[in-house]
A and B are shown apart, each in its own frame.
Chain A
Amino acid sequence: MPRRVKAQVVVIGGGPAGMASALAAFENGARPVFLLERGEYLGGILNQCIHPGFGLHLFGEELTGPEYAERFKEKLSRTQVEVLLNTTVLEITPQRIVRAVNPQGVWEFETTRAVLSMGCRERTRGMLRLPGTRPAGIFTAGLAQYLVNIEGLLPGKEVLILGSGDIGLIMARRLTLEGATVKAVVEVRDSLSGLLRNYVQCLHDFNIPLWLSHTVTTIQGKERVEGVVVSRVDEGGRAIPGSERVVPCDTLLLSVGLIPENELSRQASIPLCPRTGGPVINEYFACEREGFFACGNVVGVFDLVDYVTLVSQGVGEAVNIPTAFSPAKYHLVPGDGVSLVIPQKIQEGKKGFLFLRSLQSFRQAAVSFSFQGKEFHKLRVPLCYPSEMIRLNIQDIPWPSQGGEIRIGITGERIRGIY
Chain B
Amino acid sequence: MVLPVKESAESTKVICIVCPKGCILEGRRDERGVTIQNGCPRGQEYAYRELQNPCRIVTTTIAVRNAALKRLPVRTSLPFPKRRIPELIDFLHTLSVEAPVRVGTVLMENLLGEPGVHLVATRTIERKSPSRETERQT
Show the binding face of A for B, using Cβ within 8 Å: 40, 47, 50-52, 62, 64, 66-67, 69-70, 73, 148-152, 177-178, 190, 195-197, 200-201, 203-205, 207, 209-210, 212-213, 383, 385, 388, 416-419
Contacts and interface: CB of A to CB of B under 8 A. Distances in A.
Interface in B69-94: 69-71, 73, 75, 82, 85-86, 89
Nearest to A150: B71
Contacts of B75: 50, 52, 64, 67
7 contacts: A47-B123, A50-B75, A149-B71, A149-B73, A152-B71, A190-B1, A196-B20
B57 interface: yes
A380 B4 CA distance: 29
B122 A64 contact: yes
A51 B21 contact: no
Nearest to A205: B82
A196 B70 contact: no
Q: Most chain-B Cβ atoms within 10 A of its Cβ — which of A64, A195, A210, A416?
A: A64
Contacts of A67: 75, 103-104, 122-123
Given A152-B71, A196-B17, A419-B21, A201 B61 contact: no
Nearest to B20: A383
Nearest to B75: A64
Contacts of A52: 57, 59, 75
A148 B59 CA distance: 12
Contacts of B70: 150-152
Contacts of B89: 177-178
Contacts of B38: none
A77 to B, nearest CB: 10
A149 B22 CA distance: 30
B2 interface: yes
B59 A417 contact: no
Contacts of B21: 383, 419
Most-contacted residue by chain B among A67, A148, A204, A417 (CB, 10 A): A67
B17 A197 contact: yes
A201 B17 contact: yes
A200 B15 contact: yes
Contact of A385 (B1, B20, B104): B20
Contact of A40 (B2, B17, B68, B82): B68
A419 B59 CA distance: 26
Contact of B15 (A66, A178, A419): A419
A260 B121 CA distance: 31
A207 B20 contact: no
Contacts of B7: 204, 207
B13 to A, nearest CB: 11
B4 A204 contact: yes
Contacts of A212: 1
Interface of B: 1-5, 7, 15, 17, 20-22, 56-57, 59-61, 63, 68-71, 73, 75, 82, 85-86, 89, 103-104, 122-124
A178 B92 CA distance: 11
B49 to A, nearest CB: 13
A418 B61 CA distance: 30
Nearest to A197: B17
A70 B103 contact: yes
Nearest to B22: A419
Contacts of B86: 177
Contacts of B82: 205
B56 A205 contact: yes
Nearest to A62: B57
Residue from A47, A149, A200, A201 whose CB has the most chain B CB atoms within 10 Å: A200
Nearest to B62: A152
Contacts of B57: 52, 62
Given A66-B123, A152-B71, A177 B2 contact: no
A36 B5 CA distance: 48
A210 B61 contact: no
B2 A417 contact: yes
Contacts of B73: 50, 64, 66, 149
Nearest to B69: A150
Contacts of A205: 56, 82
Contacts of A152: 61, 63, 70-71
Given A51-B59, A177-B86, 20 more contacts: A50-B122, A52-B59, A64-B73, A64-B75, A66-B123, A67-B103, A67-B104, A148-B61, A152-B61, A152-B63, A152-B71, A178-B60, A200-B17, A201-B17, A204-B4, A388-B20, A416-B1, A417-B2, A419-B15, A419-B22
Which of B1, B3, B104, B123 gathers most chain A CB within 10 Å?
B123
